[in-house]
Amino acid sequence: MKSRKIGVFDSGIGGVTVLKEIIKILPNEDYIYYSDSTNNPYGDKDDETIINICDKITKKLIDKNCKAIVIACNTASAKASHYLRNKYLQIPIIAIEPACKMIYDYAYDEPTLIMATKGTIESEKFQLLYKKYNNQKTYLLPCAGLADSIEKENSKAVKVYLKEHVKPYKGKVKNVVLGCTHYPLIKKEIREILGDVKFFNGESNLAKHLKEVLRKNNLLDDNTGNIQFIDSQGLEDKEKRFFSIIKR
């Protein structure tokens, strides 16, 4: 019998930062990771386009025997999670979101830079979250093009971007919310620009929440911890990069 799996998707490599946290607490589940190179980047696409893309991926993952779906992309979560949850009622859909609540709970008095894609920051879902946990000490930075440079491993473009758009916050902020799943991959580069800031992201809370949802729905399995990687363009270099980050 085919094992039941957890489907995880992102526009590309970024969601690996989510999957890594999930594996720490659910090592014996089987996974399918779907990297959507064909439609990357999501960050500047309109709502309808993102919803259609995510709908197709979710259907594909369910057809491949996924018992739960993790949207490992803040932009896709912000724009499509509501639609997907209403459409696929039979299956838990867990969605990442920027760690605004963590700042409110653990760093209320400290100035914080919130980095996310333009799509996430402009979304209704993010604006509601932001207003709910606003401590009046946050700077919002829509990082147009940054996730794309990370995806393409264009380290020069990443450095130029950080110097131009992030450096002005040096000395002004103590914390950074990494509100895009690609950004944990450039923590070192952000620290080089901003100094010793603290990072906040939603990955580990999502992992705990996923475990709890699976437990409540009687969906926990004791499988082999197998991870299948699918790239929508079949890019082998992406697969290699994916597994090298997973093992790190």
Do residues 158 and 186 lie in contact, with contact meaning Cβ atoms separated by under 8 Å? Answer: yes
Task: Give whichever of 70 and 147 is closer to ligand DGL, judged by the CB atom.
Answer: 147
Chain residue at closest Cβ approach to ligand DGL = 43
Is residue 73 part of the annotated active site? The answer reads yes
Judged by beta carbon, residue 75 or residue 112, the one nearer ligand DGL is: 75
CB 127 within 8 Å of CB 113: no
Nearer to ligand DGL, 32 or 177 (CB): 177
Residue 67 or 182 having the CB closest to ligand DGL: 182
Give me the helix-helix angle, 16-25 and 236-247, nearest 10°.
40
Shortest distance (Å) from residue 62 CB to ligand DGL: 21
Q: List the structure tokens of 85.
A: 């949850």
Compute the least distance from the CB of residue 60 to ligand DGL, in Å: 18
Which residue, 9 or 169, is less far from ligand DGL as judged by CB? 9
Marked catalytic residue, from 54, 66, 73, 100:
73
H helices of the chain, in order, are: 16-25, 47-63, 74-87, 100-106, 118-122, 124-132, 146-151, 155-161, 187-194, 203-216, 236-247
Q: How far is the CB of 242 from ligand DGL (least distance, A)?
A: 13
Count CB-CB contacts under 10 A for residue 55. Answer: 15
Pull the structure tokens for residue 29: 């589940």
Instruction: Of 112, 137, 108, 140, give the one whose Cα is nearest residue 126.
Output: 140
- Say how far apart CA 147 and CA 107 lie, in whole Å: 26
Find residue 199's DSSP bridge partners: 176
Rounded least distance, CB 181 to ligand DGL, Å = 4
* Residues engaged in binding ligand DGL (CB under 6 A): 10-11, 14, 40-43, 73-75, 117, 120, 147, 180-182
The span from the CA of 47 to the CA of 78, in Å, is: 9
Shortest distance, position 44 Cβ to ligand DGL, whole Å = 7
* Catalytic position from the list 54, 66, 143, 180: 180
Q: What residues are labeled active site?
A: 73, 180
